[in-house]
Structure 1
Amino acid sequence: MTGMTGVIRTLVADDQAVVRTGFVNLLNTQDDIEVVTEAEDGAQAVALAAEHRPDLVLLDIRMPHLNGIDAAREILAASGGATRALMLTTFGLDEYVYEALAAGASGFLLKDCTFPELLHAVRVVAAGNALLAPEITQRLVAEFARQRSAVPPARDIEGLTAREAEVLVLIAQGLSNAEIAGRLTITDHTVKTHINRLFTKMELRDRAQAVILAYEMGLVRPSPTA
């Protein structure tokens, strides 16, 4: 989902100037990533995203005027799927991670991440995939899914085969395609086929939405230590 030049055009939004500048400077050292604009709050991020139409927006969850979740929701809706959102979070503190996934964010990045982790996250999300590192997203989703009030699910899994439901559970547990293949003793190609059918049947955009669905359907239970 990069631009025609193959460069990932990125918007960075964080109200902390030092953090924002650090991310911008690091990203701009890469030939395949270009920070086209930066914002100091969510409202500015929405306006600049409309103007620059970036491939990816890197948004702090907690910003003044408009938080990162609401900014992501507006940016993604306006882009018609052309822009992806990667959220910046402080592990164990942000209470809205689940809501960010539901708003369409494709993953999370810790503010104290390493340079390689930052580059990996940007490239994974820009390529149209979800960043679901078990040590970050799975625990956060589990924690805040437990806090959500119980509501009847909008979808059921009766249309899924037993194997497709099994794959859904493993996705929610943070396993990669290769790990799922090893767990189920099937080929990577077969895993991809199951995932494609699962996503089509349940109208899922990516693995982030699959995680949400698995928790909402009760297929995966948050662990007491999550």
Structure 2
Amino acid sequence: MTIRVLIADDHAVVRSGLAMLINSQQDMQVVGVAADGREAVELGVKLLPQVVLMDLSMPPGENGLIATARLKELLPEIRVLILTMHDDEEYLFQSLKAGAVGYIVKTAPDFDLLKAIRTVHQGESYLYPSAAKSLIERFLRQGNKSEEFESLQLLTEREKQTLRLVAMGYANKDIAEQLCLSVKTVEAYKARIMEKLDLKTRPEMVRYAMKKGLLDLEG
């Protein structure tokens, strides 16, 4: 039985390389490729793949977390395998929360990726060793460590909305349209958020939003 695979990644070279690898297997076939989360959802509904190989960061479109949650809502039987450069426990935790059944980093050997695809297709979960270790350590810590939410109280509701949309992968123009603001105002909000929270880069903003539960995975 051939495993029908959909690839979602914002880099054309990565999509091409993954497609060549997967199509070289007798039991696999790439049925489609998507450049962002929104396209992944559209193609998922149209092509009905059995496994979706999903990148997390796909600017400026919707990210992999949002796409995963939407695909699982529309197609509960679909198996989403996260393939990402982020070897980070927060990304892992949020991916599983969104409905992914597997998590593997892009630095993994080809045979591990192929094994992961076959594993999730068979109805099992797959976690790359470093990801499994992070997940276990997180659960072991939960009883002894409480999250601090005080810093979030420094933000206004508008700033929280802006931060959430930044974390979801939207560009300044898209955020401005959604919140009925000017692009300059959005830029000002972002600068103010980074100053208040002592964040230096966009990835730091994304990680902070994820940790504080600001991503609306159902939205």
With normalisation by structure 1, the TM-score equals 0.58
Matches within 5 A, 1:78-117: 78-81=74-77, 83-92=78-87, 95-117=90-112
Secondary structure of the 1:97 match is helix
Aligned residue type for 2:116: A
Q: Which amino acid aligns with 2:9?
A: D
The CA RMSD over aligned residues, in Å, is: 2.3
Deviation at 1:69, TM superposition (A): 0.9
Deviations 1:40-65 (A, max 9, x none): 10100000001001000000011121
* C-alpha distance in 2 between matches for 1:106 and 1:131: 7
For residues 28 and 61 of structure 1, do their structure 2 counterparts lie closer, same or farther at Cα, with a shift above 3 Å needed? same
* Structure 1 unaligned residues grouped into runs of 5+: 1-5, 151-226
- Can you list the C-alpha shifts for 1:132-188, whole angstroms capped at 9, x where unaligned? 3432233156459869849xxxxxxxxxxxxxxxxxxxxxxxxxxxxxxxxxxxxxx
1:11 has 2:27 as partner: no
Is 1:76 the counterpart of 2:77 in the alignment? no
How far apart are 1:113 and its partner, in Å? 1.6
Change (3 A) 1:29 1:77: same
Q: CA deviation at 1:96?
A: 2.3
| Higher share in helix | 2
Distance 1:120 1:17 in 2: 23
Identity of aligned residues (%): 38
**1:118 match:** 113
Q: How many residues align?
A: 144
Q: Secondary structure at the match of 1:87?
A: strand
Alignment of 1:38-187 (within 5 A): 38-64=33-59, 65-81=61-77, 83-92=78-87, 95-140=90-135, 142=137, 149=147
Question: 1:74 corresponds to which letter in structure 2?
Answer: R
Measured in 2, the distance between the counterparts of 1:148 and 1:104 equals 25
**Shift in alpha-carbon separation, 1:77–1:112, aligned structure 2, 3 A:** same
Q: Which runs of 5+ in 2 are unaligned?
A: 149-219
* 1:28 is aligned to 2:23: yes
Q: How big is the shift at 1:94? A: 7.3
Counterpart residue type for residue 108 of structure 2: C
Q: Which segment is superposed worse, 95-104 or 24-33?
A: 95-104
What is the TM-score of this pair, normalised by structure 2? Answer: 0.60
Any idea what SS the aligned residue of 2:26 has? coil
Alpha-carbon distance between aligned partners in 2 of 1:98 and 1:148, rounded to the nearest angstrom? 16
